[in-house]
Homo-oligomer: A and B are copies of this chain.
Amino acid sequence: MALVVQKYGGSSLESAERIRAVAERIVATKKQGNDVVVVCSAMGDTTDELLDLANQVNPVPPAREMDMLLTAGERISNALVAMAIESFGAEAQSFTGSQAGVLTTERHGNARILEVTPARVREALDEGKICIVAGFQGVNPETRSITTLGRGGSDTTAVALAAALDADVCEIYSDVDGVYTADPRIVPNAKKLDKLSFEEMLELAAVGSKILVLRSVEYARAFNVPMRVRSSYSNDPGTLIAGSMEDIPVEEAVLTGVATDKSEAKIAVLGIPDNPGEAAKIFRALADAEINIDMVLQNVSSLVDNTTDITFTCPRSDGPRAVELLKKLQETEGWTNVLYDDQVGKVSLVGAGMKSHPGVTAEFSEALRDVGINIEMFTTSEIRITAVIREGDLDNATRVLHEKFDLGGEEEATVYAGTGR
């Protein structure tokens, strides 16, 4: 008998009908002889609707109350899923994050899981019940106040519970049926992958794949919890994410896929005096404002005036704030200019196979050159190559790289309605 943790996203729970479909799947898993723990997100657009109400009553809502508000969404979906399960003849019990022992830091709106002590969940499992745990929420053990885990929190709840319960697998259900070699809306013959290592998935998540949140994959890797990405609309086994890249025999290591990302902007700070500590001023200011920077490029110093330029990318949503901040610094620091560009796109090639094939970087840049696409920034890791290009070139670059590295299948990929990939 296996212990299976299943996580269902909001789009899988957007109506009473969908909730019943999910419940039927959960009961089927139980009837196959498994212990089942389910983590649910809030139904459909509930979270957005609550955020909207909050903004109407207070444009700067206090974080503690925001958590109290938003966690109501998961309580609703969880209770409804538990009810639906009982209507299919199985026993269910729902738990809040606090009841399930999800202990977090005190930071409202973006708490981190400290520990999961699921004694009550274990007890209910032993009584033969299906346990439904509210995702995205926890409780701070000292203040006893309710917290939320921030973006992708429900995935993290599921993985953390799976780790604490020593589950056999953590299945993440959404409206896509697995991890593909590329976005099938851009590359029609993109192929679903059967298996990936944690590292490969981490790289994909880091460069724009929306399927899994980086944080949940990091957690899964740390506790070695196998994850499976599946669709709640089909019975496809999906994609398994498990094991280390180190365990993949060199001959079998392949390229995993091409990821695309339109969510970043590029900022260039020009005419920086080339002294030690100048770059640190920029990155400290951004860090203090909690703006994450992704790629960074520093030009060689100009021989004429001994100044340099620094170019970096950050989330587009933080872009205007970052520029405002740097424009202020520009005045005191005497930089020449701060330039903002949000018409960029990021294309990445990921795969453990890269390690054993040294020519990949060259082939990557040649492929883009051959179709006249200019690379504006370029970085590589052990198993990833990323280029920043014009946003308008992104789809074409994706198709060209997918073709060049022969990642496609013979059939067209299935794209589900409303896919959020």
Contact = CB atoms under 8 A, between A and B. Distances in A.
Contact of A62 (B59, B60, B82, B146): B82
Nearest to A146: B96
A68 interface: yes
A64 interface: yes
A231 interface: no
Given A65-B86, A69-B75, A75-B75, 17 more contacts: A16-B56, A53-B80, A57-B81, A57-B83, A58-B84, A58-B86, A58-B87, A62-B83, A62-B92, A65-B94, A68-B82, A71-B75, A72-B72, A72-B76, A72-B79, A96-B146, A99-B144
A20 interface: yes
Interface centre among A79, A82, A87, A144 (most CB of B within 10 A): A79
From DSSP, what is the main secondary structure of chain A's interface residues?
Answer: helix
Nearest to A85: B58
A223 to B, nearest CB: 27
A80 B69 contact: yes
Nearest to A20: B57
B75 A58 contact: no
Contacts of A59: 87
Contacts of A66: 79, 83
Interface in A100-121: 120
B76 A93 contact: no
Contacts of A92: 62, 65
A144 to B, nearest CB: 7
Nearest to A67: B79
